[in-house]
Amino acid sequence: MNPVNHMAIIMDGNGRWGLKHRNSRNLGHKEGLKSVEMVMRYCIKKRIKFLTLYAFSTENWKRPLKERNYLFNLLEIYLKEKLEKINNEKIRIKIIGEKNFSKGLNKLLDFAEKKTIKNTKLQINLALNYGSKKELIYAFNKLKKRKGVTENDVNKSLYTKNIPDPEILVRTGNTQRLSNFLLWQIAYTEIFFEKKLWPDFKREDLNKIMKKFSKVKRNFGKI
């Protein structure tokens, strides 16, 4: 049995789901929240301690303003509505990425992080305005005056400092690429590409992934 301590997810396919069902990409983003809730409950049940969710990339700024605003609004409403419950369930929220949204949303994100900082049941790393290359550049700049930089020094200089590398990365939405997500951290992660769009992704699909993962021989270079 391979233990799972950290699962990371590229939640892709919302737009296509929305277009297919009601000709509205934004509807897909809203529906995607149900899958987020499902995964959160799943991780708690399976005692997975870290869940990293790719919610908005540094490249997603290229989307139309209307869609971006819809996404940020959705996040704001969700947090305002659910933060109390999240905190009561002992879930910690941590943002990875650079907070450069509206003043209101930046403040809310800071508040959510501070309020939940002591929680240990599950840590959700919400990747927002996250880009792996940007994160690495941030780390390199922090380390540029240091000599003999070690792997551990890099780990400690990333946004994901103190977060162990994920054992599992899932990407939904029938696309096989990483889209600038956790490039350093997934050096030895098992990757699962799922055909289903994010809002269609269900508990059974996660069960299947966990089952497959449990049977993988993780060599880490050995035989």
Tokens of 178: 């990483």
Task: Name the residue nearer to ligand IPE (CB basis): 54 or 101.
Answer: 54
Long-range Cβ contact pairs of 85-89 (< 8 A, separation 24 or more): 86/112, 86/116, 87/115, 87/116, 87/119, 89/44, 89/121, 89/122
Single residue of 52, 57, 125, 157 touching ligand IPE by CB under 6 A: 57
Residue 192 engages ligand IPE in binding (rule: CB under 6 A): no
Single residue of 73, 155, 179, 189 touching ligand IPE by CB under 6 A: 179
Task: Name the residue nearer to ligand IPE (CB basis): 10 or 93.
Answer: 10
Under DSSP, the state recorded for 131 is -
Query: Rounded to whole angstroms, how far apart are CA atoms 217 and 223?
Result: 9
Query: Rounded to whole angstroms, how far apart are CA atoms 127 and 9?
Result: 10
Residue 201 engages ligand IPE in binding (rule: CB under 6 A): no
Q: Shortest distance, CB of residue 60 to ligand IPE, whole angstroms?
A: 5
Single residue of 97, 131, 166, 173 touching ligand IPE by CB under 6 A: 173
Tokens of 157: 């200089």
Residue 213 engages ligand IPE in binding (rule: CB under 6 A): no
Q: How many CB atoms lie within 10 A of CB 2?
A: 13
Long-range Cβ contact pairs of 147-154 (< 8 A, separation 24 or more): 154/184
Per the annotation, the verdict on 12 as an active-site residue is yes
Per the annotation, the verdict on 60 as an active-site residue is yes
Q: Shortest distance, CB of residue 174 to ligand IPE, whole angstroms?
A: 9
Site of interaction with Mg ion (CB under 5 A): 12
Q: Which does 55 bind (CB under 5 to 8 A by kind): Mg ion, ligand IPE, none?
A: ligand IPE
Task: Name the residue nearer to Mg ion (CB basis): 155 or 179.
Answer: 179
Residue 15 engages ligand IPE in binding (rule: CB under 6 A): yes
With CA atoms as reference, report the closest residue to 122 among 62, 48, 63, 68.
Answer: 48
Query: By three-state DSSP, how is residue 61 classified?
Result: helix
* Catalytic positions: 12, 60
| Interface with ligand IPE (CB under 6 A) | 10-16, 54-57, 59-60, 71, 173, 175, 177, 179
